[in-house]
Amino acid sequence: MAPARPRVRSVTQSGDRSDAFVFFGATGDLAYKQIFPALADLIRDEGFDLPIIGVARSGDLESLKERARQSLADHGFSDAAATQALTDRLRYVKGSDEDIETFRALRRELGKARHPLHYLAVPPALFGEVVGCLQVSGCAAGARIIVEKPFGRDLASSVALNETIHEVFAEHDVFRIDHYLGKEPVQNLVYFRFANSFLEPLWNRDQVASVQISMSEAIDVADRGVFYDQTGAIRDVVQNHLLQVVSLLAMEPPSGHTSVAIRNEKNKVLESIRPLVPADIVRGQYQGYRDTKGVAADSSIETFVALRLHIDSWRWAGVPFYIRTGKCLPVTATEVLVEMKRPPQSLFGEAQPRDADYFRFRLSPDMSISLGALAKKPGEAMAGEPVELLASHESGSERPPYQRLIGDASRGDQSLFAGEELVEAAWRVVDGVLDGKTPLHFYEPGTWGPPEAVDVLVHGDRWHDPVEKLRVPATAAPHD
């Protein structure tokens, strides 16, 4: 247990650069899959020169260095100089996340460092213990911390976690990491909206009929049964990733490109979303999920969810925002489709086309922006056909999300991190449907979820299914 601590917070200056990087859970999966590759990329691309200290319960420095090398090899990292620099900078503290002596050893290992960045790659249940030990040992003085999602399991636990952390750290020293915000296509949503003047007159309730966000995964839960059966689709991706995307799509223009200005506008969006009620949501579970190791035989956890959001703002009142996400769907892809309202009448006497005009933002696995419209067919008749104007991005030069986010946190840049108010506002949206009491519908793997998913749609809307791979016309030039 962490010893009792006074309620005194340690505050950095916003311009201070971190002078050491500490990561707890150094032998875990997150470190292997994300942190080691991100640190190597930072060393290679940005001259990241901080001491790097791993904290874990087992192993030693040499085994940690070998694990770092294996991680980089598995991720195709081939820069020998950066690999050597990473292993040369590695240090190691062996001990428990709940033992104050571990943290005193860490303080000695930090040496002259006065502004360490602590990455808590540990379960949220340990955050309070770690934060308390950081303070008592002196490791919190002048420090920042990064914490991983899920930040709580519901609104009440999220509020309690924030209170625990704020006993020691000021809000501007807390970096709640959501790697989705660091993805280049997600950042492009903000850029495309506010760097182009033609979009603003269209981006409102007068012109937009609906907004649809689909995040589909073809994979099952694999070996994550224990985790997933305590989490489900709403907690796993809706409360964080997808509500963040909604906030970027629906936000008002920020007063400037600062973390505070952008956060303020995102907060306003989430605060204006009505809390979900059972009529807004359909939950599903793929057949065979209950046979997964670690999953309860009578599990009521959803592997699929479809829902409808209501944003009570001047810009978006009456425009439904739909979200659909799930495992074992036909493809792995994430798209945003903004459907425009139809013309008031058919000038050329044609039957109404199945789809109205739309903007489509492809976020993964490839990145593109599309405009769907009608164009005249060749010939004498005044008849049209659907066409799509496509700009695809294939440069391959984007920084991986964890590289971007760890680098930003070391500089104190909060732009791509979720603030306390944002996290709690997102929990407020979903809190009323987390009890698992809404009906659970079963669906076959490889389908688009249970047929009941259409029940959340209104105004004759339909689901738009992403395709697995963009079909770029031969005449289209990639956009770099």
Q: Which residues pair with 321 in a beta bridge?
A: 211, 309
DSSP class per residue in 381-404: S--EEEEEEEEEE----PPPHHHH
Q: Before 353, cis peptide (omega within 30)?
A: no
Active site residue: 241, 257, 393, 459, which one? 241
Helix axes 420-430, 155-166, angle to 10 degrees: 160
Structure tokens at 349: 């006497």
Number of Cβ atoms within 10 Å of the Cβ of 366: 14
Question: What is the arrangement of strands in the sheet containing 304-309, beginning at the earlier edge strand?
Answer: 384-393, 367-376, 358-364, 333-340, 208-216, 321-326, 304-309, 281-286, 440-443
Known catalytic residue at 241: yes
Closest CA to 185 of 448, 477, 400: 400
Q: How big, in percent rounded to 5, are the helix, strand and coil portions of the chain?
A: 35, 20, 45
Burial tier of 272 (Cβ tally within 10 Å: 0-12, 13-18, 19+): middle
What's the Cα-to-Cα distance from 322 to each of 120, 132, 213, 278, rounded to whole Å? Answer: 33, 41, 6, 15
Distance CA 475, CA 61 (A): 54
Burial tier of 202 (Cβ tally within 10 Å: 0-12, 13-18, 19+): middle
Residues in the chain, how many? Answer: 480
Q: Where are the alpha helices (DSSP H) in 176-311?
A: 184-195, 225-228, 232-233, 243-250, 259-272
Q: Give residues with Cβ within 8 angstroms of 163, minimum separation 6.
A: none
Location of structure tokens 């489709």: 337
3-class state of residue 427 by DSSP: helix
Number of Cβ atoms within 10 Å of the Cβ of 33: 14
In the chain the first and final C-alpha atoms are separated, in Å, by 53
Distance CA 83, CA 469 (A): 34
CB 284 within 8 A of CB 305: yes
Location of structure tokens 């909060």: 414
Active site residues: 241
